[in-house]
Structure 1
């Protein structure tokens, strides 16, 4: 491979491509955030966020929920964006938090500009803006996008420090590291992969220090010499931020201890816990996934492999730069291998490795561009690369819910590999049906949801209604205005009600394999209108008296007492009973009914 030139793009061209990347990211991330139904995890986190808002305290559960960082960032953003009371929050409000994290992630790429080169940095930003995986989870209210942003910021700060930055970069990197711990426990896998990458890079290449001053600098350069024990400048801020986050401002010390005990629970869950996948699951997500439809980010995976090869065999004037690129290559591979070995697999878990691959893909694209012989071949190469990015854009458009062709809309489609156990779009029709029936009587209409997992995400959508109960089995008393039941309990429910009193609406998909039916109580028949007596007739002439009847008089008939008709068989006269304490729900949240 030919040596890569130091300057690949003019500054103006570089800035234009950066703006184009930000424009692409905006178009795929900000539009139609409310169109996709809430995933169960999003709904639970939304309810948890509302609880934190109302109580001013985040209750940490070491068995689930992860750390408080996403909620703390969301509360900060809610103040800046003026969300108002939790009863007014929308899906778009929540998802805007992760959208902003995703946009910040694009900008953090600039911290690596002298490592990737101008061309490589611009291409990495374009790939990040159009990657279907990045686009889909940027619009997903879960911890992953915040975690990836903090990981990228940590690596970028350490890289900037190694290239002559002040110890303030170490402090900022340490803060980001501590907030990773407060975001999600799986950050420990990234730390382990980073340690392995650092050891390999130091052994094969040497120090990360540059031989000469960097051509790209952010922030003031530090003076000659290194601070004593630089790791303290990382560890102390990391511990401080983590403890402050978990303890709710140094008020809840139990949560601090639980944040370390939680790893005992995660060791148990690593065996699968119902999310078992084959070892190559994540590799297929990146390179080739076919489930009726074909999904592929092979452009990113292929360029990343080229970038890894270039990191090891390329001709570098700056050994510190090569050390970092070797580190990034080993880090990404070890991280992918670590997640692949674990039986427990969810598609969003690999997002941080995908981000590292995108950086390496930018490096690989720059290496190929520099190796092209002549301006004409570079133009041909740019066109082919642009077509590849256009293919990523087309896939991403189908994940946003805004595709002009409804047949190509896959934001909640089971064939979308990123929509993992996702709420079906037909649930939105169920919500519309019930909303129309309830109207403005949400405080008086009674609703019972009978489902093994309480019908999540329904508790989020109906959080403002007063009389909603959730049962994980069929109760004895079924007399609600609205009964929502999944297929597992359908026959039992029909046997306990008078079906003639309800209209039935179905099917609605909750998740793949879970079908809901809705029973709506019929309006009572109107009361009979009392008969109006006829108007009094004018007096008739007095008739001639008839001869007296001498036969015995017949007794007058007795008046029959008015007896109300019996109630229809199966109808319950008592109001519906609601569980005093609801069953444990996914994630451990137990929403209480407001009766």
Structure 2
């Protein structure tokens, strides 16, 4: 027992180190910056109003608000990224701990291996270190499965499902996949399947209580504590009016390629398909009459397949949408331990193979999250923010110090698609955002432009090209008096 406890502690310590180490290192992603801005408004007492046309649910922002308050931040200008990312890093760590709830039912080896896979998965680690919704969605989704594994207090499934809906509208994909998988497993029981009336007698009370909790939790979040009743309608209305950002359309097989096929980028070889192969092996072996836990394996296998199918049909695709489906895959892969061969030599070989899977995941995790977190050769760095943007704040401070008698404000941002720039300008009070250049732009001390403003500013400003996001540069136009003063000061 002591050895097993030590193993679990080591796995959780590894998961925590991978998720929390140097959490503020990576430049802020555009999606993180928009989420931080919504959190900042709530932090300043502006409340929360769910936008059904574009943004996701409120749970991430509310937890981010609590984390910021705990760190002593009260305003948008004071916020830092580490407390915000600690929310999702913590959710990722809790996800790794969830296989503990399945130990009695599925055994220590299977659950320990599943936890190791979750702990070292390069995709799960990378997105746990970002302030985005998907890691929370995966946590609440696996809590549903953990509750089913415990077979007690099943009404709590309503709580986890309610938190899923309040996190992101895509929870309906999981709900539909799980419902269809449960129905398929019920059919596969054949003559042994219980009658619906028997199921209702056993679980009707839990189902009714769970539904009430589900509605209370989800509506409570969307209405900002029942203060804005329209939020309940908007939570449903979003499925009809949501407008995804253009430019993320991918072919049907894109997710399968991401999860199962190898790829070489900039001399680095990436392959995360080993857990998928183990999951497929587990699903196939569940067809055997002697298979342990066949109902669980079949449920997970069917649910995983339906998740992948649903997300693949949708043309809008980003890699972080696979966080919850991948967690399903890793659980299935963990259950493959139950099919270890009995012959000692083969067991040793199989154990070494599984150790190799963990080691290779660790190599890719270190590469993606620590060595090359924002580079194009990183398979998981999707539209990353340029490292150049991280040096923006000290550079602006130098410009400001070069002309102490003149304010560096107002600052103008002209054009569109400028996120995460507002985060890096959050400490300046006079920042304006314009789709087109306004009048008297030539008098502004500083202008950030995503388009060409040469005609308007070349006579009065000096252009300084900087990186913003992968494939998207930005030009900073510095008024000549500030530029000349900063050059002179650097020579003194």
- The question of a shared fold, defined as TM-score above 0.5 by the shorter chain, is answered with yes
Equivalents in 1 of 2:46, 2:286: separation in Å? 48
CA RMSD of aligned residues (A): 2.5
Aligned to 1:517: 475
Aligned to 1:337: 309
Alignment of 1:167-566 (within 5 A): 169-205=153-189, 226=202, 228-266=204-242, 269=244, 273-290=246-263, 291-292=265-266, 293-313=268-288, 315-316=290-291, 321-364=293-336, 366-368=337-339, 370-374=340-344, 376-401=345-370, 409-439=371-401, 444-453=407-416, 455-477=418-440, 478-486=442-450, 488-489=451-452, 493-499=453-459, 502-506=461-465, 508-523=466-481
Between structure 1 and structure 2, the one with the greater Rg is 1
- Give the total of aligned pairs: 473
Q: Which runs of 5+ in 1 are unaligned?
A: 1-10, 210-224, 402-408, 527-595
Equivalents in 2 of 1:63, 1:295: separation in Å? 36
Q: By how many angstroms is 1:523 displaced? A: 3.8
Equivalents in 2 of 1:457, 1:443: separation in Å? 27
Alignment of 1:11-160 (within 5 A): 11-55=1-45, 57-160=47-150
Equivalents in 2 of 1:82, 1:110: separation in Å? 34
Gap change, CA 1:241 and 1:42, over 3 Å in 2: same
Look up the SS of the partner of 2:251 in the other structure: coil
Gap change, CA 1:31 and 1:447, over 3 Å in 2: farther
Question: Per-residue CA shift, 1:53-107, capped at 9, x if unaligned?
Answer: 2125211111121111112222333444544544322111211110011111111
Q: Which runs of 5+ in 2 are unaligned?
A: 195-200, 486-492
Question: Per-residue CA shift, 1:412-453, capped at 9, x if unaligned?
Answer: 112323222221112223443223212497993125444432
Gap change, CA 1:52 and 1:467, over 3 Å in 2: same
Aligned to 1:586: none
Look up the SS of the partner of 1:419 in the other structure: coil
Alignment of 1:577-588 (within 5 A): none
Q: By how many angstroms is 1:245 displaced? A: 1.1
Question: Per-residue CA shift, 1:346-401, capped at 9, x if unaligned?
Answer: 1111111000000001011x034x31411x44333323322221111111112223
Equivalents in 1 of 2:110, 2:24: separation in Å? 34
Gap change, CA 1:447 and 1:410, over 3 Å in 2: farther
Q: By how many angstroms is 1:517 displaced? A: 2.3
Gap change, CA 1:56 and 1:322, over 3 Å in 2: farther
Do 1:43 and 1:460's aligned partners in 2 also have CA atoms closer than 8 Å?
Answer: yes
Do 2:43 and 2:74's aligned partners in 1 also have CA atoms closer than 8 Å?
Answer: no
Equivalents in 1 of 2:12, 2:462: separation in Å? 51
Do 1:116 and 1:359's aligned partners in 2 also have CA atoms closer than 8 Å?
Answer: no
Do 1:303 and 1:360's aligned partners in 2 also have CA atoms closer than 8 Å?
Answer: yes
Q: By how many angstroms is 1:509 displaced? A: 1.7
Gap change, CA 1:35 and 1:312, over 3 Å in 2: same
Equivalents in 1 of 2:193, 2:54: separation in Å? 38
Equivalents in 2 of 1:350, 1:442: separation in Å? 52
Do 2:159 and 2:214's aligned partners in 1 also have CA atoms closer than 8 Å?
Answer: yes
Do 1:132 and 1:399's aligned partners in 2 also have CA atoms closer than 8 Å?
Answer: yes
Do 1:447 and 1:482's aligned partners in 2 also have CA atoms closer than 8 Å?
Answer: yes
Do 1:445 and 1:467's aligned partners in 2 also have CA atoms closer than 8 Å?
Answer: no
Equivalents in 2 of 1:17, 1:379: separation in Å? 19
Q: By how many angstroms is 1:15 displaced? A: 2.7
Gap change, CA 1:452 and 1:496, over 3 Å in 2: closer
Hey, which of these two has a bigger chunk of helix by percent?
2
Equivalents in 2 of 1:123, 1:144: separation in Å? 23
Gap change, CA 1:286 and 1:12, over 3 Å in 2: farther
Do 2:457 and 2:477's aligned partners in 1 also have CA atoms closer than 8 Å?
Answer: no
Gap change, CA 1:246 and 1:311, over 3 Å in 2: same
Q: TM-score, normalised by structure 2?
A: 0.89
Gap change, CA 1:347 and 1:451, over 3 Å in 2: farther
Equivalents in 1 of 2:165, 2:295: separation in Å? 26
